[in-house]
């Protein structure tokens, strides 16, 4: 059947709420979301099997992104779709994939790694998988409370299977973390299997439609063949066949970190659309006292808050795609047995995931603030976008922890530079910095990119020197590292920013040659604005590490303000170009027709507190007091 998927989904009545979900209880929210999740899953399966086909060229992203409107929060099957299947596809052997990746599979799965006691430091995970060669099984066990799995999305009530990360033991030897497929609930009754203790962890700041859960195993047995065996194997006699690289097991985290960059770009474009459209509708204060009130988008300080959000959304879209392509390339190499590019990909994914999530949540909050009091309404959808976005700073590798991973990579190259050993081309600037080959400052995008590289070099040097000093003072390496960790994370952050600026600028210049002249001008303005914004934010660092002068900074400021004025006439067009439907934006402030106040009043009328003219609490609590006082 040929269908237009967007319209098809939009016309499925059960997917769209009459009562806004904020008014539902914790339990009702889940039940409402899971009903919708299985309708969406059915559509995805029909798409997969070809029973329905796409007539809309943008649909693959739309099926995913339209979910934001359907759930307003998050699809409880997100981890099933996004992590469970993709991990099997990436880490299971061909035979396992043939068995498990059936489109009509009964398995609803999740990715179970984090424990009550350990999230970031996964080597500390305590769940064990002990091989029993007499029965050809692994015994999954939770030795103590801190080893209980905690957090996985969909685990609380929905999943009947999971991929669990556990320490592998064979004949008393620990071989570290491995991934196992475990059934946890009966496929028919959905009751937890014997030896499984599973439940939901309770309300959170966001993600309240995803039933995040806990899980404990009491000597739960699974077949040996349920260990994911593409890269590593345990043979029938208990022989352990090592992987080609001991971090291949962490591949799902790497892939999700890469994917997240694009997802965050999308969240940013939603927030920008709401705040810019609202700012075009909202009038507050005249600029000159004898004039009518102006659109708040005309205030330059408002443009400063919002245009960087538009630009950042483009940055993360471009860089997300760039990383996606790198991931594809490196995965193909790994397939051929070449692990050489994996450390670089990991280092890039870590710092870019960290900075994209931090930027996105800060900018979404900035958009909310830019909408004044109305941005604080749930009906603006900005609080929900914030709650969703800020979670990404923590999950899939916590911010600081990931920056410290990238710092290991930077320090390695600084050590090479300090020892005058050959460096790869992309770190040649470390050598220039050491030799004081400083370029004369140029107030241009290219100049700013060079300036950011000088900051990376300067901050890596400072962190490295502190590390060396701590070592000379007799500290052990790990302790010396911890003492230098503030400087190390600063170096990583600078590295991420320099990559963002360089990739975005180069890709924009290239893209500009392929589009109309008028579009190219706007795209370059946005890219330049992004670079100028961050040069001004980091002008202190530029003064410390590059050859910029006070006059240069003043010139940058003028150019930045000029760019705000140049972008202003296109601001609404730029967010319209994100092409996000009203049903997905779910915002009284950001709808395409600009009927902000009418929509706010319509939404308010849905409040259960407006159902009765006089609420019964008046008779119970208020009247007895107020009437008594009257007497």
Ligand X SMILES: Cc1cc2nc3c(=O)[nH]c(=O)nc-3n(C[C@H](O)[C@H](O)[C@H](O)COP(=O)(O)OP(=O)(O)OC[C@H]3O[C@@H](n4cnc5c(N)ncnc54)[C@H](O)[C@@H]3O)c2cc1C
E strands, 184-279, in order: 196-200, 213-217, 220-223, 233-234, 240-241
- Asked if 524 contacts 508 with a C-beta cutoff of 8 angstroms, the reply is yes
How many positions of this chain bind ligand LFZZZEXQ (CB under 6 A)? 30
Residue 530 CB contacts under 8 Å (≥ 6 apart), including other chains: 308, 311, 312, 314, 315, 500, 501, 504
Give me the residues paired with residue 240 across strands: 234
Interaction of residue 253 with ligand LFZZZEXQ, rule CB under 6 A: yes
Closest-by-Cβ residue to ligand X is: 119
Residues between 400 and 459 with contacts to ligand X, criterion CB under 6 A: 400-401, 404
Question: Least separation, in Å, of the C-beta of 118 and ligand X?
Answer: 6
Q: Which of 396, 450, 493, 528 is catalytic?
A: 396
Q: Which is nearer to ligand X, 398 or 439 (CB)?
A: 398
Q: How far apart are CA 280 and CA 395, in angstroms?
A: 35
Among positions 395, 512, 543, 561, the unique one binding ligand X when judged by CB under 6 A: 395
| Spatial CA neighbour of 67 closest among 26, 101, 33, 111 | 33
- Burial group, residue 41, by CB count within 10 angstroms (0-12, 13-18, 19+): middle
396 in active site: yes
What angle, rounded to 10 degrees, do the helices at 342-370 and 300-335 form? Answer: 160
Interface with ligand X (CB under 6 A), residue from 113, 128, 252, 443: 113
- Binding mask 349-388 toward ligand LFZZZEXQ (x if CB under 6 A, else -) reads ----------------------------------------
For the CB of residue 452, give the shortest distance to ligand LFZZZEXQ in the complex, in Å: 23
Q: Three-state DSSP class for 310? A: helix
254 binds ligand LFZZZEXQ (CB under 6 A): yes
**Torsion 185-15-66-393 (CA) sign:** negative
Query: Shortest approach of ligand LFZZZEXQ to residue 165 CB, angstroms?
Result: 8
Residue 580, contacted partner among ligand X, ligand LFZZZEXQ, none, CB below 5-8 A by kind? none
For the record, the structure tokens of 440 come out as 């004369």
Tokens (6 digits) for 392: 């990404």
* Cβ neighbours of residue 205 closer than 8 Å, sequence gap 6 or more: 387, 390, 391
| Selected binder of ligand LFZZZEXQ within 100, 111, 386, 430 (CB under 6 A) | 111
Rounded to whole angstroms, the Cα distance separating 485 from 405 reads 11
Q: What whole-number distance in Å separates Cα of residue 587 and Cα of residue 110? A: 31
Q: Does 121 bind ligand LFZZZEXQ (CB under 6 A)?
A: yes
Among 4, 45, 197, 247, binds ligand LFZZZEXQ (CB under 6 A): 247
Per CB under 6 A, which of residues 397..426 are in contact with ligand LFZZZEXQ?
Answer: 397, 401, 405, 408
341 binds ligand X (CB under 6 A): no
For ligand X, the binding residue among 120, 146, 426, 626 (CB under 6 A) is 120
| Interface pattern 469-488 for ligand X (x via CB under 6 A) | ----------------x---
Closer CB to ligand LFZZZEXQ, residue 397 or residue 445? 397
C-alpha to C-alpha distance for 231 and 249, rounded to whole angstroms: 8
Return the residue of 119, 213, 445, 451 that touches ligand X, per CB under 6 A: 119
Report CA-CA distances (Å) from 485 to 152, 394, 404, 492: 29, 18, 7, 10
Instruction: Return the residue matching tokens 């006089």.
Output: 614
To ligand LFZZZEXQ, the closest distance from the beta carbon of 412 in angstroms equals 7
Q: Binding of ligand LFZZZEXQ at residue 40 (CB under 6 A)?
A: no
Q: Is position 207 an interface residue for ligand X (rule: CB under 6 A)?
A: yes
Alpha-carbon dihedral sign for residues 524, 530, 531, 532: positive
**Contact residues: ligand X, CB under 6 A:** 79, 111-114, 119-121, 151-153, 207, 212, 391, 394-398, 400-401, 404, 485
- Catalytic residue IDs: 396
């Amino acid at each position: 059947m040929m269908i237009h998927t967007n319209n098809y989904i939009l016309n499925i009545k059960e997917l769209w709420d009459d009562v806004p979900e904020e008014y539902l209880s914790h339990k009702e929210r889940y039940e409402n979301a899971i009903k919708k999740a299985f309708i969406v899953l059915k559509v995805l399966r029909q798409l997969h099997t070809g029973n329905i086909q796409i007539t809309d060229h943008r649909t693959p992203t739309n099926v995913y992104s339209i979910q934001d409107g359907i759930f307003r929060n998050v699809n409880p099957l997100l981890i099933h779709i996004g992590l469970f299947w993709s991990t099997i596809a990436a880490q299971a052997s061909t035979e396992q994939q043939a068995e498990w990746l059936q489109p009509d599979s009964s398995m609803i799965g999740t990715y179970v790694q984090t424990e009550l006691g350990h999230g970031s430091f996964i080597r500390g995970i305590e769940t064990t998988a002990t091989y029993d060669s007499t029965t050809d099984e692994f015994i999954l066990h939770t030795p103590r409370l801190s080893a209980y799995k905690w957090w996985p999305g969909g685990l609380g009530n929905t999943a009947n299977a999971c991929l669990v990360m556990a320490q592998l033991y064979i004949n008393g030897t620990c071989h570290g973390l491995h991934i196992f497929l475990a059934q946890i609930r009966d496929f028919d009754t959905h009751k937890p299997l014997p030896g499984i203790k599973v439940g939901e962890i309770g309300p959170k700041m966001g993600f309240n439609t995803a039933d995040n859960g806990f899980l404990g195993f009491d000597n739960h047995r699974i077949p040996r063949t349920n260990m994911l065996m593409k890269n590593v194997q345990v043979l029938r006699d208990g022989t352990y066949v090592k992987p080609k690289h001991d971090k291949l097991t962490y591949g799902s985290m790497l892939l999700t970190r890469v994917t997240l960059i694009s997802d965050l770009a999308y969240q940013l474009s939603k927030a920008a659309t709401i705040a810019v459209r609202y700012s075009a509708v909202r009038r507050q204060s005249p600029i000159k006292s004898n004039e009518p009130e102006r659109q708040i988008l005309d205030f330059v300080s408002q443009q400063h808050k919002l245009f960087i959000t538009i630009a950042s959304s483009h940055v993360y879209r471009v860089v997300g795609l760039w990383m996606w392509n790198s991931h594809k390339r490196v995965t193909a190499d790994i397939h051929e047995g070449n692990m050489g590019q994996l450390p670089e990909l990991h280092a890039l994914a870590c710092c870019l995931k960290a900075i994209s999530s931090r930027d996105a949540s800060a900018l979404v909050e900035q958009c909310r603030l830019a909408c004044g009091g109305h941005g604080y309404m749930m009906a603006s959808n900005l609080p929900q976008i914030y709650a969703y976005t800020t979670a990404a700073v923590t999950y899939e590798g916590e911010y600081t922890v990931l920056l410290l991973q990238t710092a290991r990579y930077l320090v390695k190259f600084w050590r090479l530079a300090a020892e005058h050993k050959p460096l790869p081309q992309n770190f040649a600037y470390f050598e220039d910095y050491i030799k004081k080959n400083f370029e004369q400052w140029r107030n241009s995008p290219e100049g700013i990119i060079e300036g950011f590289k000088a900051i990376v070099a300067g901050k890596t040097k400072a962190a490295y020197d502190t590390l060396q000093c701590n070592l000379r003072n007799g500290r052990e390496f790990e302790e010396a590292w911890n003492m230098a960790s503030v400087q190390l994370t600063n170096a990583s952050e600078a590295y991420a920013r320099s990559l963002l600026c360089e990739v975005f600028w180069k890709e924009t210049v290239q893209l500009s040659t392929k589009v109309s002249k008028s579009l190219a001008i706007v795209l370059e303005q946005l890219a330049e604005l992004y670079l100028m914004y961050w040069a001004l934010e980091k002008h202190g660092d530029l003064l410390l590490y590059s050859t910029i002068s006070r006059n240069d900074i003043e010139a940058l400021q003028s150019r930045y303000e000029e760019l705000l004025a140049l972008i202003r006439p296109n601001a609404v067009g730029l967010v319209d170009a994100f092409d996000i439907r009203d049903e997905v934006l779910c915002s009284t402030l950001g709808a395409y027709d600009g009927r902000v106040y009418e929509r706010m009043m319509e939404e308010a009328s849905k409040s259960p507190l407006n159902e009765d003219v006089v609420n019964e609490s008046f008779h119970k609590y208020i009247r007895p007091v107020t009437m008594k006082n009257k007497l």
